[in-house]
Structure 1
Amino acid sequence: MRHIDDDERRARLARRAGLVGGHPDVLSATTAMTVLHATEAATVHLALWARVPGVTVADVDAALYDDRTLVKQLAMRRTLFVFPRDLLPAAWGSAAARVAAQQHQQVIKFVTAGGFADDPEAWAAEAYAATLACLADGVPRSTAELRAQVPVLDGRFVMGTVDKKWGGEFPIGRWVIGTLGARGRVVRATNAGHWRLNRPTWTSTERWLGTFDEPWAADAGYAELVRRWLRTFGPGTEADIVWWLGATKTIVRRALADVGAVAVGLDGGGQGWVLPDDVDPVDPVEPWAALLPTLDPTVMGWRERGFYLDPAHTPYLFDTNGNAGNTAWWDGRVVGCWVQDDAGVVHTVLRDDVGAAGRRALAAEAERLTAWLDGVRITNVYASPQMKSARLP
């Protein structure tokens, strides 16, 4: 069994993520990462800024809304991602279908809680059909606009208790539309707000994408997702893939077998997996610096992060659910975070001594990101404790 040590894993990470050398365009960069996290809208643009030299907001928006080579899709772990268009059918038949089933059960639960109908399944079927009929003309509509035109979507139910932060009365439309999105029947179309904010409009998948492949069989879909994950993140452990995919060990083991994955040894005595044509050693890279956004796909690629993250830093740079805030990297390791002041200037907050060369390189990245943002301030839902407590000069 070949052994891939932490140094080689960090070199692989740097090259494949485009943090050394970069990628030529936004589609290439997204494909290289398998998918991009999109729960926070700004992550998409900032993740591509870090990987595509000279990229602009207009370049990213063109891929999402004009060329439509990138598409937002609810999938693994009920998380919103940006997918390369060609990977969608694999996800629709596997990870997204799993999420769609979960979403549908939520719809049934809320229909029952709201007392909307004696037959929740029939109510849901009619709501799905009415929503699709409304969107059949191809005109993108916001959730609020859909609720206004499809009255059943405005039915209200109580979730939790109204005196709690996450409790209150809610319209069911969000879950109906979300289920259709996970099924691949509707997609997020144009964004109705600033690029740093999620203000989606919705339309039918057929209208948005035109010709597209039907969902793959589940096993084939999972195998393709795991194949691409290994190309991006390998070597990784079974636990990494189970976590990233939001699936079971049985599903992951079947997918690993289907793609012919090869076992390799890892530092610390663990076992990882790579694709059969990805066993050869890779050359080391020179020290590099990067500033990555909240929920960046590289930071969120693995569950077992010890090869690039000091475990002592985890409580400062991740929330209790394992969501990463903004991160600062030096020579293949997370060494702190970055924040903005009131004027939009980017500052790094370091937890490690990176030496003079590291400080210079990170300062240059902060200056470059400040210029690119040009006064735009990013608001993070998943700000890390370190970001929240940062004291700026």
Structure 2
Amino acid sequence: MVVLDDRALNRASLARQLLLEPAALAPRDAVAHLCGLQAQQPQEPFVGLWSRLRAFDPAELSDLLTAKRVVRTHLMRRTIHLLTAEDVLAWRTRHEAMLLQRVLGVYRRELSGMDLDELAAEGREVLDGGEARSMAELGAAVARNRPGISPRALGETLVGALIPVVQLPPRGLWRTGGAARYLPISTWLGREVEPASPDDGVGRELVRRYLAAFGPAATADIRAWSGLAGLPDAVKALRAELVSFRDVRGRELLDLPDAPRPDPDVPAPVRFLPAFDNAVLGYQDRSRVVDDEHRGVSVAGERVVLVDGRVAGTWRCTGDTVDIAPLRRFSRRERTELLERGAALAAFLSDGAGDRVRIE
């Protein structure tokens, strides 16, 4: 079996993640290809698409949100993702058990003995009027009949698991603030989420889509990205149409036969990634992108810089200035590229008002 080292996997991942060279895709098509973008921090998807697309106007993504073509919701790993409306409708039911399990992992003691079906019905009744509610408002409304239970636990259980909901604009629009307010997916999109398929066609489609955006990858990587434990059956059903490799640690890696696997020596340009980007978090074994000693920056919400395809620094923007904190020494050529790309990022984030970059 062919062995792919970390550099070969790095270049394949960069190509799938649209980070090897800018993609000539519309923002909605990029969101679909990437299986969604991490969006706990509402402005981060804009940087994620700016780093990946040949020409990106942030107003286009805002328009997609207000036109209900993309939505913000809890899904993979019970984290907020920005996804196409079609993917949310197709995938939400497949994630239902995982979403509930993760909520109960936090609030099991408070929710012990509670009738969750009854709680969900009350929550839906509160939202049936069509008025968007915050998690706190929803929790307070159902807490009236449950003395001693914290409204936060109730609200988070409802919006994070029991009721398929979306966060409404203006939250998530370009340079626009706004509290997280929720409506059921069916109310916002005018369509019900799709029921579970008896043959788990959704699971098979998730595996295919993941490999197209992240592969080659092990089943543990698919599980780490999705949070789902039941995908091995989907993988087993797909094996005849997949190809296999091994990594240097001996793990079996699966992939789509015709997916891009560039030459490991293909140059990788500097890329600035937003917080919690799935190009780093979308794997159980992240060694293809980040050294073990720096693995913590990706889960701490640090925005990272890729140099030669790997996490080599963190960055932040203050006013019109992008500050880069290196995790290793940069060559003169790397510093030049960082300054050029950082200036472009500063201009994007400040609407052309600034282009200052500092390397600490």
Which bracket does the TM-score occupy, shorter chain normalised? 0.7 to 0.9
CA contact (8 A) 2:222 2:283 kept: yes
Mark the CA change 1:2 to 1:89 in structure 2 (over 3 Å): closer, same or farther. Answer: farther
Superposed counterparts of 1:144-183, under 5 Å: 144-146=136-138, 152=144, 157=149, 170=152, 172-181=154-163
- The answer to whether the 8 A contact 1:37-1:81 is kept is yes
Amino acid at match of 1:135: L
Q: How far apart, in 2, do the equivalents of 1:281 and 1:147 lie?
A: 48
Answer yes or no: is 1:367 the counterpart of 2:346.
no
Quote the residue 1:13 is aligned against: 13
Matches within 5 A, 1:120-139: 120-121=114-115, 124-139=116-131
* SS at structure 2 position matched to 1:242: helix
* CA distances 1:229-277 after superposition (whole Å, capped 9, x unpaired): 11111111232222222233xx232121222232212234432111244
Aligned amino acid, residue 231 of structure 2: V
Q: Secondary structure at the match of 2:43?
A: helix
TM-score of the two chains, using structure 2 as the length reference: 0.84
Q: Retained in 1: the 8 A contact 2:320–2:347?
A: no
Q: Separation in 2 of the partners of 1:346 and 1:154?
A: 49
| Whole-angstrom CA distance in 1 between matches of 2:145 and 2:323 | 44
1:107 deviates by 6.5
Separation in 1, partners of 2:233, 2:103: 25
Helix, strand or coil for the counterpart of 1:272?
strand
Letter paired with 1:207: T
Q: Which runs of 5+ in 1 are unaligned?
A: 113-118, 159-168, 377-390
SS where residue 303 of structure 1 aligns? coil
Which residue number in structure 1 is paired with residue 302 of structure 2? 325
> Contact 1:78–1:99 at 8 Å: present in 2 too?
yes
Query: 2-side partners of 1:365 and 1:5: how far apart?
Result: 28
Output the TM-score relative to the length of structure 1.
0.77
Q: Which residue does the alignment assign to 2:225?
A: 244
Quote the Cα distance in structure 2 between the aligned partners of 1:156 and 1:289. Answer: 52
CA separation of 1:240/1:154 partners in 2, compared to 1, >3 Å: closer, same or farther? same
- Cα deviation, residue 151, structure 1: 6.1
DSSP 3-state at the match of 2:110: helix
**Amino acid in the other structure paired with 1:364:** E
Conserved? CA contact 1:346–1:370, under 8 Å: yes
Residue 252 of structure 1 aligns with an amino acid whose one-letter code is L
2: distance between equivalents of 1:3 and 1:153?
59
Given that residues 146 and 153 in structure 1 are in contact (C-alpha distance below 8 angstroms), is that contact kept between their aligned partners in structure 2? Answer: no
Whole-Å separation in 2 of the counterparts to 1:325 and 1:357:
24
The structure 1 residue matched to 2:183, chosen from 193, 199, 203, is: 203
- 2:327 paired residue number: 351
Report the CA distance between 1:108 and its aligned residue.
6.8
The counterpart of 1:221, out of the listed 179, 199, 202, is 202
Counterpart of 2:216? 235
Report the AA paired with residue 325 of structure 1.
E
| Residue matched to 2:92 | 92
2: distance between equivalents of 1:273 and 1:30?
A: 23
Tell me what 1:163 maps to: none
Alpha-carbon distance between aligned partners in 1 of 2:182 and 2:245, rounded to the nearest angstrom: 44
Q: Is the 8 A contact 1:296 1:324 kept in 2?
A: no
| Shift in Å, 1:173 | 2.6
The 8 Å contact of residues 12 and 261 in structure 2, kept in 1 or not, is answered as no
Q: 1:125 to 1:223 in 2, by over 3 A?
A: same
Correspondence for 1:304 among 285, 306, 328: 285
Instruction: Indicate the larger mover: 363-372 or 169-178.
Output: 169-178
**Kindly tell me: are residues 239 and 174 of structure 1, through their superposed partners in 2, closer, same or farther at Cα, counting changes over 3 Å?**
closer
Amino acid at match of 2:315: W
Question: Where in structure 2 are the equivalents of 1:186-197 lying within 5 Å?
Answer: 186-192=165-171
Give CA-to-partner distance per residue, 1:128-180, whole Å, 9 cap, x none: 2233233234332333444566663895536xxxxxxxxxx846333223333
Deviation digits for residues 184-237 of structure 1 (CA, Å, limit 9, x no counterpart): 2x3222235875767221112222112355233373322222221111111112
Q: Matched residues, percent identical?
A: 25
- Local SS of the residue matching 2:316: strand
Q: Partner letter of residue 255 of structure 1?
A: A
2:294 counterpart of 1:313: yes
Closer/same/farther in 2, CA of residues 22 and 172 from structure 1, 3 Å limit: same
Q: Secondary structure at the match of 2:169?
A: strand
Structure 1 residue 85, shift from structure 2 partner = 2.1
Q: Distance in 1 between matches of 2:105 and 2:270?
A: 45
**2:45 is the counterpart of 1:44:** yes
Q: 1:198 to 1:50 in 2, by over 3 A?
A: farther
Secondary structure of the residue aligned to 2:144 is helix
Q: Distance in 2 between matches of 1:141 and 1:67?
A: 20
Which segment drifts farther, 15-24 or 331-340?
A: 15-24
Instruction: Tell me the distance in 1 between the aligned counterparts of 2:172 and 2:76.
Output: 25
Q: Could you tell me which residue of structure 2 aligns to residue 3 of structure 1?
A: 3
Q: CA deviation at 1:392?
A: 7.7
Asked if structure 1 preserves the Cα contact closer than 8 Å seen for 2:275 and 2:304, the reply is yes
1:73–1:193 CA distance, 2 compared to 1 (3 A): closer
What letter corresponds to residue 307 of structure 2 in structure 1?
W
